[in-house]
Structure 1
């Protein structure tokens, strides 16, 4: 028997596959917001956060940040809730430096980590121009606060980033961030 939480995760994962253009992004965001409080499972919180966060880095909609903060408060993660609620008072780099380690800590299971990476890669490979830069910024924050063996557990991440670097012109504005993420991701030894 499928529970409501399972259904919302399935719907959120299905719509995440549609984040490939500027035209579909508002619809995906709208559906995510509609489903936001239909479940309070940690997986639902993670998926909703990953789907809404890149757009938050662009348009500073404090309602999404506050709603996500409330959802994490219900989950019992007060530190993550507070960090999300502080979005309106900080620049993105400072905000992500506080938020991403807390988000990484909340991912206790490898399946949760893989799900987050899968959604971020869907956004990146879809090349939705509005979300590309903020998603890279978000991914950089996660990779920067990830455990050392993060890249080994998420080989697809390394593969997709390599493909993106290969297909992105060095004069593109996303090139430096791609290089920075790969440099952070792959150990120096």
Structure 2
């Protein structure tokens, strides 16, 4: 935890001079219990930005290749990242994420799977719904509204937690739950995008 907070303050200090962060809805974030944090994905800076603005430490999946790089392989585990094999069904990564959620921690996920520079929300992968159903956690939708331009405002909006229990009881499919999650992210984008003001 100590290194995580240190890294968080370093990243915040590095980014703050260049971007004006407008953080909205932090009060919606549960203070305890498992949370699946699902956000849109517009830039490579999204994971560190979510990491420095979320009220609790966030565990992120990171592609396995990053853990083989000399500097990152020592740092990534200390900032709560864990490896995932891209393009494959990585059972170990799935188990890790579910266990973290069951353990009452926060797991961050970008359901689109890749960056979408258009600003439009893409289709979410069913993995988000799988974690939401299996992890015994609530889902907090998040909208990052950019673009990331020097000295410009970047909004990070946290929505109200979505209770997954009704979906578990009705035996909803992961694909259906992912659609629900994406609809909540889209709602945040619609409500807070400057063009809609």
Structure number having the greater helix percentage: 1
Structure number having the greater strand percentage: 2
Higher relative contact order (CA 8 A, sep 6+): 2
| Superposition TM-score, scaled by structure 1 size | 0.31
